[in-house]
Every structure is written in structure tokens, then in C-alpha cells.
């Protein structure tokens, strides 16, 4: 893994494919350093997902697509069954990088289906490269459609919207999901206020979302996670919108830890609570959220900031990275196909079929 400085562009593009080389804007170094890691080994790409150099459900999916292409380049063989067998093993390694975001396994399976459909082993490599690029291009187009679908949900001028974690370009191939809806609302001329949580313990909100809003020129106010309830009670927040890592068939939604608390607080205060996500995040194989595996991350993410300890040596810490918000707290789920409303078992199925 080499380090390079990224080129400056207006649109933030955290993932670049430069001819059998995957370049990731290292999100462990933002906002103070913009460093690109350059990857040619699929294991290193999978490790970059585990270490959260790239993170956010759609971005993980795009990275997994390219990781499969890199695996094919390394494992290619003239013997087709052997080639497919080794690709499947590489796919298992990549899919195990993080457990909660459905997009990871979804992208690996999509790439494997393309490989399996190629009768000639010599054409697998170009087919996989093209498919990985298609996943990335589709993601940007889908996010822009999510923004179109959702922008009318943004509050009136002067009222506040609250978002959690990072769901912008950094979490996707470009534009973002929940942050994309906020951006689309601003680009349509809305002048509502924007609040974003810090998102303890990894600080996706403070480090990444605040940086993205600055790049976009959208004024945003950072709040401590624990300030959200008081702000809702005081009338500063009239709408909450977050992303999703996995949405079960009934609308129960896994997202960054703390999302459930925001949804319950929104409900208590009569404030609409929206999820924005591509239909690829909907997992129709799960009837409800009870089947969603929640990632538990290392304790040191809670007991330190960077390398600086924030708790006494030996402190025990528990670090679930996601929680599941029951569908009853969700006012609507914004997908590229439609704004889905309860009952979600029907509206999500229709959106998935229409996408
Ligand atoms: O642990 P992370 O940073 O990968 O978690 C990200 C989130 O929870 C996002 O809200 C979700 O992936 C949607 S990103 C468009």
C-alpha cells in the first residue's frame, strides 16, 4: 500500500480505479490530512474496509467490486473451474471484512455471478473490471436520484434538519444518500439549517460530515450526540435523516450506533424521521431486523481518541458499531425508486422491483 496525494476536484470521489490499481481516500486520516492509499492486492482492499480507510455501506460495496477484480487478476487460470473456485474463496475473504452492511456481500455476489456467466476464462478479467466500474457508476446515479426523491422532505427555510454519521460522497462513490438529500435540498434553493452529530466513538460526523459540508459550502453546525434530544425538544430540529447499512423486508433498519436513540427522540417530539438508502441496501431475505448481525468493534475506539487515551488504563468498553431502528419509528425510507411509506413490507418490495 503506497501513499499519494489526491488530485483536487470539486466533487469528492473517495474511490478511484486507475487501471488495475484501486485508490482510496484514507478516511482514517481526514479531515486534517488528505492521503490516498494505492492498492493492487484484494486482501489489502478487504483490510482497508475492516480498518475503515473506506467506510459507509455503498462505498464498501464499490470497493468490494474492485477487490474482486484485483482477486481475478491475481488468481486467473486457464482452467475455468479452478479459476471460479479460487475467486469464490477470495470473495469469502472480502465479504468477511465487515458484517453489517449488506452492500459488501451484495457486490461480491454480483461479481461472482458475472464471472460464472463467462464461458471463456480469458474473458472473466475484462468482464469483472467492467462490472466493478458499472457498480461505481450506478451508485453515483442512484444517489442523485435519491436526492431528487427526497429533497422535498427537507424542512422550510430557517428550520433545522439533523443527520448522523457520514452518508455523503465519502460513504458512497459520490454525492451521498442522506447527506445527498440535504445537498439536493440546498441545491434546489432550500435554506434550512443543518445540524450533524459528532457520532461517537469513531467521529464520522465531526471528522467527515463537517468536512464534506465545508467542501460543499453548506453551512452546518456540529453537535455532541447527547445534545440531539434537547434540540428536538426546543424546536431547533424539524426533521431527522440518516443512512442505512441494511434494511430488512419490514423496514427495520440497521445504521450507525445512536440512530435508534435519534429515532425514538424524534418520535417522542413529533418530528419526522427518514432513512435514505439505495434499494441495494434492502435485504428482502430478512423478515425483520432481528436477523441483522451487528458489528462489534475494538474497545480502544471508545477508550482513546486517535492514540490519546480518554479513559483510565484497563477500562472495559463495549463498542457495537450499529443499532437497529424498528420500522414503527421510521416516517419514510427514501430510495432511488420512491419514498417508501409504511407498511414497508409492501412499499420496499415495490421499490426493489421498480429499481
Ligand atoms: O461504520 P461506518 O462509518 O461504515 O457506518 C456508516 C453508516 O452507518 C452510514 O450511515 C451508512 O453506511 C450509510 S452510508 C451512505
pLDDT tens, residue by residue, 140-160: 999 999 999 999 999 999 999
Mean pLDDT for 163-173 is 98
CA nearest to 316, candidates 327, 305, 300: 300
Same domain, 122 and 163: no
Q: Residue 249 maps to which CATH number?
A: 3.40.50.10470
Task: Catalytic residue, from 245, 252, 283, 323: name it.
Answer: 245
Q: Residue 102 maps to which CATH number?
A: 1.20.120.420
The rounded distance, in Å, linking the Cα atoms of 172 and 37 is 17
Residue 216 in any domain: the answer is yes
List, as one string, the DSSP characters of 280-346.
GGEETT-SSGGGPPPPB--THHHHEETTEE-S-TT-----B-EEEE-GGG-SEEE-SS-EE-SSHHH
Say how many Å lie between the CA of residue 335 and the centre of ligand 1: 16
The rounded distance, in Å, linking the Cα atoms of 134 and 117 is 17
Q: Whose CA is nearest to atom 15 of ligand 1?
A: 167
Is the pLDDT score of 296 beyond 60? yes
Mean pLDDT for 107-134 is 96
For residue 307, what pLDDT band results from cuts at 50, 70 and 90?
A: confident
Is the pLDDT score of 5 beyond 60? no
- Per-residue confidence (pLDDT) for residue 158, from 0 to 100: 98
Best residue among 60, 101, 241 to mutate for probing ligand 1, ranked by most atoms within 8 Å of CB: 101
Same domain, 55 and 166: no
Same domain, 28 and 43: yes
For 12, 181, 215, the CA distances from 194, given in Å and listed in that order, are: 20, 12, 14
Mean of per-residue pLDDT scores for the chain: 95
Residue 3 in any domain: the answer is no
Is the pLDDT score of 336 beyond 80? yes
C-alpha cell belonging to residue 25: 481516500
CA-only gyration radius of the chain, Å: 20
The kind and range of the H/E element at 148 are: helix 124-150
Same domain, 135 and 153: no
Which tens digits make up the pLDDT trace of 257-291?
999 999 999 999 999 999 999 999 999 999 999 99
Tell me the whole-structure pTM to 2 decimals. 0.95
C-alpha cell belonging to residue 19: 487501471
C-alpha cell belonging to residue 331: 416516517
Structural domains in the chain (count): 2
Best residue among 204, 293, 297, 323 to mutate for probing ligand 1, ranked by most atoms within 8 Å of CB: 204
Residue 4 in any domain: the answer is no
Is the pLDDT score of 125 beyond 90? yes
Same domain, 209 and 350: yes
Is the pLDDT score of 116 beyond 70? yes
- Per-residue confidence (pLDDT) for residue 8, from 0 to 100: 35
Looking at the CA of residue 277, tell me the nearest atom of ligand 1. 15
Mean pLDDT for 248-253 is 98
Same domain, 177 and 265: yes
336 prior amide bond cis, ω within 30: no
- Per-residue confidence (pLDDT) for residue 25, from 0 to 100: 98
Say how many Å lie between the CA of residue 4 and the centre of ligand 1: 25
Mean pLDDT for 335-345 is 98
Same domain, 69 and 42: yes
Domain that holds residue 330: 149-354
Report which DSSP code applies to 86.
H
Question: Which phi-psi region, left, alpha or beta, contains residue 258 (left: φ > 0; alpha: ψ -120 to 50)?
Answer: left
Which residues share a beta bridge with 296? 320
Residue 7 in any domain: the answer is no
Looking at the chain, the whole-number percentage of residues with pLDDT higher than 70 is: 97
Task: For 11-44, give one letter per residue: b (16+ CB within 10 A) or e.
Answer: ebbbbbbeeeebbbbbbbebbeeebbbebeebbb
Same domain, 57 and 71: yes
Report which DSSP code applies to 248.
E
Which tens digits make up the pLDDT trace of 189-215?
999 999 999 999 999 999 999 999 999
Concerning whether 41 is annotated as a catalytic residue, the answer is no
Looking at the CA of residue 322, tell me the nearest atom of ligand 1. 8
Which tens digits make up the pLDDT trace of 92-109?
999 999 999 999 999 999
Residue 9 in any domain: the answer is no
For 67, 208, 311, 316, 327, the CA distances from 56, given in Å and listed in that order, are: 16, 11, 27, 27, 21
The rounded distance, in Å, linking the Cα atoms of 344 and 41 is 40
Is the pLDDT score of 338 beyond 60? yes
- Per-residue confidence (pLDDT) for residue 306, from 0 to 100: 81
Is the pLDDT score of 9 beyond 80? no
Amino acid at each position: 500500500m503506497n501513499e499519494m496525494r489526491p488530485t483536487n476536484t470539486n466533487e469528492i470521489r473517495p474511490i478511484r480505479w486507475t487501471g488495475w490499481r484501486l485508490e482510496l481516500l484514507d478516511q482514517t486520516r481526514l479531515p486534517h490530512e488528505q492521503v490516498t492509499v494505492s492498492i493492487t492486492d484484494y486482501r489489502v482492499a478487504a483490510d482497508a474496509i475492516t480498518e475503515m480507510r473506506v467506510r459507509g455501506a455503498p462505498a464498501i460495496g464499490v470497493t468490494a467490486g474492485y477487490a474482486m477484480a484485483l482477486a481475478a487478476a491475481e488468481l486467473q487460470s486457464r482452467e475455468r473451474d479452478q479459476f471460479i473456485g479460487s475467486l469464490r474463496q477470495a470473495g469469502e475473504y472480502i465479504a468477511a471484512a465487515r458484517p453489517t452492511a449488506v452492500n459488501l456481500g451484495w457486490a461480491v455476489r454480483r461479481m461472482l455471478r458475472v464471472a460464472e456467466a463467462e464461458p471463456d476464462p480469458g474473458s472473466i478479467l475484462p468482464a469483472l473490471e467492467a462490472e466493478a466500474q458499472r457498480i461505481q457508476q450506478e451508485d453515483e446515479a442512484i444517489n442523485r436520484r435519491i436526492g431528487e426523491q427526497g429533497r422535498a422532505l427537507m424542512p422550510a427555510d430557517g428550520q433545522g434538519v439533523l443527520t448522523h454519521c457520514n452518508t455523503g460522497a465519502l460513504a458512497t462513490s459520490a454525492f451521498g444518500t442522506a447527506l445527498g438529500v440535504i445537498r439536493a435540498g440546498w441545491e434546489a434553493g432550500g435554506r434550512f439549517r443543518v445540524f450533524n452529530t459528532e457520532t461517537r466513538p469513531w467521529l464520522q460526523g465531526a471528522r467527515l460530515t463537517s468536512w464534506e459540508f465545508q467542501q460543499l459550502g453548506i453551512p452546518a453546525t456540529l453537535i455532541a450526540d447527547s445534545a440531539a434530544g434537547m434540540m428536538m425538544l426546543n424546536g431547533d430540529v424539524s426533521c431527522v435523516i440518516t443512512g442505512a447499512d441494511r434494511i430488512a423486508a419490514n423496514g427495520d433498519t440497521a445504521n450507525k450506533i445512536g440512530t435508534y436513540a435519534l429515532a425514538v427522540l424524534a418520535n417522542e417530539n413529533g418530528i419526522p424521521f427518514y432513512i435514505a438508502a439505495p434499494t441495494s441496501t434492502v435485504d428482502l431475505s430478512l423478515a425483520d431486523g432481528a436477523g441483522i448481525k451487528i458489528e462489534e468493534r475494538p474497545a480502544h475506539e471508545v477508550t482513546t481518541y486517535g492514540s490519546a487515551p480518554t479513559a483510565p488504563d484497563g477500562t472495559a468498553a463495549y463498542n457495537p458499531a450499529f443499532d437497529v431502528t424498528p420500522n414503527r419509528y421510521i416516517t419514510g425510507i427514501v430510495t432511488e425508486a420512491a419514498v417508501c411509506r409504511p407498511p414497508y413490507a409492501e412499499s420496499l418490495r415495490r421499490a426493489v422491483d421498480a429499481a
